[in-house]
């Protein structure tokens, strides 16, 4: 984790930690001098304001601030308005060639830089639309068999087991699971309502009946923690001003709250946050190691298994698309390539040969 400012950790690939500014002789105008960016903290404040005006997530804010800061520092803190396509291209080349980052990481850096120029500095340079984006490789998701999923979940205990079963049984993303509130779990209808998922979209998915008893007991413990004090949570948008006491109400509490109180990274107010994502990540990683699964497994792997196993069971791909919250069915179709039916559902000629079929050939 790289701390840009106190209390603001940003996930950064270890290869990026050694990004250094260009040498003086590499300044595009050929001079040995450069103009430092004016009011450096003020520039980042403008970026924050533009991001929050557009209601981007805090994780996006962290990532964009980090990339913009590294981009400007890489160019000797020169004013971004004085830089152009050459500086952007050199920075992206450094990431791709020297640091060997993934295409998605390179594109995230480019998105942050374009946001700086278009939305913060309001500069519509012609070269902005000509910057080449890295092509992301088409990779198949890692999917476990049902037996492997059963073994993995059996190796989890307590809250990680409940979270892991929700990830697999409801097809939730990790942050969607962590951000569940009590009011969004409907035991009567057997539903989980995902609020502001990816793309700021709401959706409804199923509540696995296998976790109802354990989840109910868990929520009773959470209610006890809530009653003990410091039961204030962050609310979306302007709800805190509209309903001043809603942050103390039981329905708005996190299903998976942290055990300690922490300061809100945006407002500085002390509140109870939800569990950190490292808790289920570490638990699933250790469970995989204990049971000896060789495949790389993380929380998102269980979501992949949810989709694949539903398709294997014969459910319609449009139904799976809706449960996953995909905007385009083509995103869901990736799971048709990993169904447990061999290569695209075709029987291998070796299987036919070795089973005695086609002996006359």
User: What is the 8-class DSSP label of residue 185?
Assistant: E
Q: Examine the residue annotation and report whether 303 is marked as an active-site residue of this protein.
A: yes
Residue 344 included in any domain: no
* 351: β partners: none
| Residue length of the chain | 361
On whether both 161 and 244 belong to a single domain, the answer is yes
On whether both 163 and 285 belong to a single domain, the answer is yes
CA–CA distance, 305 with 24 (Å, rounded to integer): 52
On whether both 161 and 83 belong to a single domain, the answer is no
pTM of the predicted structure, to 2 decimals: 0.71
Annotated catalytic residue within 274, 303, 304, 309: 303
Identify the sign of the CA torsion 293, 299, 305, 306. Answer: positive
* 263: β partners: 270
Q: Examine the residue annotation and report whether 242 is marked as an active-site residue of this protein.
A: no
Q: Examine the residue annotation and report whether 221 is marked as an active-site residue of this protein.
A: no
Residue 208: give the domain boundaries.
146-338
Residue 53 included in any domain: yes
On whether both 87 and 179 belong to a single domain, the answer is no
Closest CA to 295 of 149, 126, 127, 118: 149
Residue 351 included in any domain: no
Query: In the listed set 65, 95, 130, which residue is the last one of a domain according to the structure?
Result: 130
On whether both 79 and 226 belong to a single domain, the answer is no
Annotated catalytic residue within 76, 203, 285, 300: 300
On whether both 124 and 151 belong to a single domain, the answer is no
Q: Strand 185-186's sheet: what is its strand order?
A: 185-186, 191-194, 203-206
- The domain tally of the chain equals 2
On whether both 273 and 124 belong to a single domain, the answer is no
CA–CA distance, 308 with 338 (Å, rounded to integer): 7
Give me the helices (H) in the chain, please: 40-53, 58-74, 85-93, 103-115, 146-154, 158-170, 174-178, 212-227, 239-242, 278-291, 299-312, 317-324, 329-332, 349-354
Annotated catalytic residue within 90, 118, 198, 203: 198
Residue 323 included in any domain: yes
Residue 328 included in any domain: yes
Each residue's pLDDT expressed in tens, for the chain with a length of 361 residues: 333 333 333 344 444 444 444 333 333 333 333 444 444 568 888 999 999 888 888 888 999 999 999 999 898 888 888 888 888 888 888 887 778 888 888 889 988 998 998 888 887 666 656 666 667 777 889 999 999 999 999 999 999 999 999 999 999 999 999 999 999 999 999 999 999 888 788 999 999 999 999 999 999 999 988 888 777 888 887 777 788 888 888 999 999 999 888 887 777 788 889 999 999 999 999 999 999 999 999 999 999 999 999 999 999 999 999 999 998 998 898 888 777 555 555 667 777 678 754 444 4
Q: Examine the residue annotation and report whether 335 is marked as an active-site residue of this protein.
A: yes
CA–CA distance, 124 with 143 (Å, rounded to integer): 44
Can you give the CATH number for the domain in which 283 is found?
A: 1.10.443.10
Residue 135 included in any domain: no
Residue 259 included in any domain: yes
On whether both 225 and 98 belong to a single domain, the answer is no
Q: Examine the residue annotation and report whether 271 is marked as an active-site residue of this protein.
A: no
Query: In the listed set 85, 102, 130, which residue is the last one of a domain according to the structure?
Result: 130
Residue 360 included in any domain: no
On whether both 109 and 187 belong to a single domain, the answer is no
Report yes or no: 142 and 50 within 8 Å, Cβ to Cβ. Answer: no
User: CB burial class (10 A; 0-12, 13-18, 19+) of residue 63?
Assistant: buried
Can you give the CATH number for the domain in which 33 is found?
A: 1.10.150.130
DSSP H or E segment with residue 229: none
Annotated catalytic residue within 69, 78, 274, 326: 326
């Amino acid at each position: 984790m790289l701390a840009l400012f106190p209390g603001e950790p940003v996930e950064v690939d270890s290869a990026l930690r050694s990004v250094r500014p260009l040498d003086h002789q590499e300044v595009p105008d050929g001079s040995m001098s450069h103009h430092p960016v004016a009011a450096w903290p003020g520039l980042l404040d403008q970026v924050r304001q533009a991001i929050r005006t557009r209601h981007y997530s805090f994780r996006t804010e962290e990532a964009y601030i980090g990339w913009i800061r590294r981009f400007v520092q890489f160019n000797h803190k020169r004013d971004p308005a004085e830089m152009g396509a050459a500086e952007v291209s050199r920075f992206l080349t450094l990431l791709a060639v020297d640091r060997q980052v993934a295409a998605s990481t390179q594109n995230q850096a480019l998105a942050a830089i374009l946001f700086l120029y278009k939305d913060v500095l309001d500069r519509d340079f012609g070269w902005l639309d000509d910057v080449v984006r890295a092509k992301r490789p088409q990779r198949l998701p890692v999917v476990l068999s049902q037996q492997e999923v059963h073994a993995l979940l059996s190796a989890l205990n307590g809250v990680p087991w409940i979270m892991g079963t929700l990830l697999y049984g409801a097809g939730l993303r990790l942050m969607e699971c962590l951000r569940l509130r009590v009011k969004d779990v409907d035991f009567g209808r057997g539903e989980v309502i995902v609020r502001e998922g990816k793309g700021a979209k709401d959706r409804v998915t199923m509540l696995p009946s296998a976790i109802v008893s354990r989840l109910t007991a868990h929520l009773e413990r959470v209610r006890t923690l809530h009653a003990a004090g410091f039961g204030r949570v962050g609310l979306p948008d302007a709800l805190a001003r509209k309903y001043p006491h809603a942050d103390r109400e039981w329905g708005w509490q996190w299903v998976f709250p942290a055990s300690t109180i922490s300061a809100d990274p945006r407002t500085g107010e002390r509140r109870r946050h939800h569990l950190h994502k490292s808790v289920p990540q570490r638990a699933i990683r250790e469970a995989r190691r204990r049971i000896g699964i060789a495949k790389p497994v993380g929380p998102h792997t269980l979501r992949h298994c949810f989709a694949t196993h539903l398709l294997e069971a014969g459910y319609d791909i449009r139904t799976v698309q809706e449960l996953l919250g995909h905007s385009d069915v083509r995103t869901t179709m990736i799971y048709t390539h990993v169904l447990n039916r061999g290569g695209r559902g075709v029987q291998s000629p070796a299987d036919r040969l070795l089973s005695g079929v086609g002996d006359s050939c």
